[in-house]
A = this chain, B = another copy of it.
Amino acid sequence: MKKHTSKKGEAKEPADRLFILDRASKLFREQGFERTTVKQVAEACEMLPGSLHYRYNTKEALLVDLMKLAIEQISQAVLEACASSIDPTEQLRASINAHLRVLVTDSDMVYVLLFEWRSLKGDARKKMLAPRDQYEQLWAGLISNLVEQGVIRDDLNEDLLRIIGLGALNWISTWYKEDGTHTLEEIGDFIWSFLMAGLVNSPTQEKAPAKKKAPAKKKNL
């Protein structure tokens, strides 16, 4: 029953798009993309399957459009976080919290983006690779800055650091509950301070002083 909200004919981006993608992503997050039926999506949008089909010819087209918007959302959130300070250390802290907040709390779309990648077939998936890499580049630049400014050790593989770090953030969305013992920002700051201060209890440590050192063959890890 939702009326089309375009005015004066300039219906380039109907407000319905956001509405539909929002309701759909909520279902996809709760039930998974495969288990959710187009009928359910239509119902959640207060329309009938036939009407939804007018906007999206296939179920997958809906998912693709959803993911496109999701990447825009999370990219914007991190960009804003970076813009909040000129100190790269603080930029990192703000970005960690922004990524977490968008993924866990603010946007079901971003959650779906990360967890329903498998449901994208070959063609649709390829089209999402570029935007995805673009987002990764935001983080690559952030880390690169920290290395250049001497905050982070320069003998660490920055790609591994980025990928593994983002993975740690992503997984949090699988267990975090709003009513838990920690706020989301506490968790983000935990990770950040953990990164900044390290884990071990030796204030005068060297680089890798553990008693039984791992096989020393690797050099650029």
- Please list the residues of chain A having a beta carbon within 8 angstroms of any beta carbon in chain B: 31-32, 34-35, 85, 87, 89-90, 93, 117-119, 150-154, 156-157, 160-161, 163-168, 170-172, 174-175, 182, 186-187, 189-201, 203-212, 214-215, 218, 221
Contact = CB atoms under 8 A, between A and B. Distances in A.
A85 B192 CA distance: 31
Contacts of A153: 199-201
The 5 closest A-B pairs by CB, nearest first: A198-B198, A167-B171, A34-B34, A168-B168, A197-B208
Contact of A89 (B32, B119, B192, B211): B211
B210 A89 contact: yes
A156 B209 CA distance: 20
A186 to B, nearest CB: 6
A30 to B, nearest CB: 8
Can you tell how many copies of this chain the complex includes?
2
A202 to B, nearest CB: 9
A201 B93 CA distance: 17
19 contacts: A32-B34, A34-B34, A93-B212, A151-B200, A151-B201, A152-B201, A153-B200, A156-B199, A160-B182, A161-B199, A165-B168, A167-B170, A167-B174, A186-B221, A189-B214, A197-B200, A197-B206, A198-B199, A203-B204
